[in-house]
Amino acid sequence: MRIAIPIFDGFTALDAVGPYEVLSRLPGAEVLFVAEQVGLKRTDTGMLSLQATHALDRLPHPDVLVAPGGPGVRGLLDDEALLGWIRAAHERSTWTTSVCTGSLLLAAAGVLNGQPASGHWLEMETLRRLGAQPTQARVVRAGKLITAAGVSAGIDMGLTLAALIADEQTAMAIQLAIEYDPQPPFHSGSPASAPADVLARVREAAARRARGGA
């Protein structure tokens, strides 16, 4: 069971590390961090780098594909090296999955056409423009496609996927091993639950970034 996570400059670390932390604990699973070129890939904050150990062309047909997101996705929506790899990987994959704006990569590659899909709540319109049916749920399954909401949703998606790959007892054992008994100190994790001023603040920060500001 080879699980490929493509990474790139500007990806969001937790998008990739959440599912990795769950799926790497599946018996017999091997998680591989792949990129167009092997080497260090810098996360969106610029403060952290993860090592891509395998070139995309060395791993054309992983059993499972997990596409993380992040601001770096924006520059990859017409990157045929990555999108072509996703398209070919999806043709023979057992599961094709994403976290956060990783679903934009799947959509840009054409594998989400007309399919219900989740993603970061700020980018649901982009997801629609790229041909998917945006669905604001934590984890959305459509056949062998599984897409998750923003950043931290990759942990929930990873556990869902672990149960599908192995069984529920194995997924529950992983949940216990990583002590995933979440107790957020605030109730502000989704646009539906966040206070209006917090929602406005995050929307405004996103709009500033989109205009090229800080």
Task: Kindly list the catalytic residues.
Answer: 100
C-alpha dist (Å) from residue 127 to 91, 93, 102: 21, 22, 10
Shortest approach of a second copy to residue 31 CB, angstroms? 5
The token duo for 53 is: 């150990």
Contacts of 180 (CB under 8 A, 6+ apart): 155, 159
CB 40 within 8 A of CB 49: yes
Q: Rounded to whole angstroms, how far apart are CA atoms 205 and 196? A: 14
50 binds a second copy (CB under 8 A): yes
Q: Sketch the per residue contact string, 19 through 38, with a second copy: x for CB under 8 A, - otherwise.
A: -xx--xx----xxxx-----
182 binds a second copy (CB under 8 A): yes
Q: Rounded to whole angstroms, how far apart are CA atoms 87 and 92? A: 9
Give 95 or 156: the residue with its C-beta nearer to a second copy: 156
Residues 66-95 that bind a second copy (CB under 8 A): none
The owner of tokens 């997101």 is 69
210 binds a second copy (CB under 8 A): no
Of the residues 10, 150, 165, 166, which one makes contact with a second copy according to CB under 8 A: 150
Q: Measured at the alpha carbon of residue 19, what is the angle toward residues 81 and 113, in degrees to the nearest 5?
A: 50
Give 40 or 81: the residue with its C-beta nearer to a second copy: 40
Q: Measured at the alpha carbon of residue 165, what is the angle toward residues 155 and 85, in degrees to the nearest 5?
A: 80
CB 61 within 8 A of CB 3: no
Span from 18-26, 56-64, 86-94, 103-111 in contact with a second copy (CB under 8 A): 18-26
Span from 43-51, 79-87, 107-115, 124-132 in contact with a second copy (CB under 8 A): 43-51
Of the residues 64, 73, 108, 151, which one makes contact with a second copy according to CB under 8 A: 151
CA contacts within 13 A on the Cβ side of 185 = 0
Query: Applying CB under 8 A, which residues contact a second copy?
Result: 12-14, 17-18, 20-21, 24-25, 30-33, 40, 45, 47-51, 53, 100, 120-121, 138-139, 149-153, 155-156, 159-160, 163, 168-169, 171-173, 175-186, 188-191, 193-195, 197-199, 201-202, 205
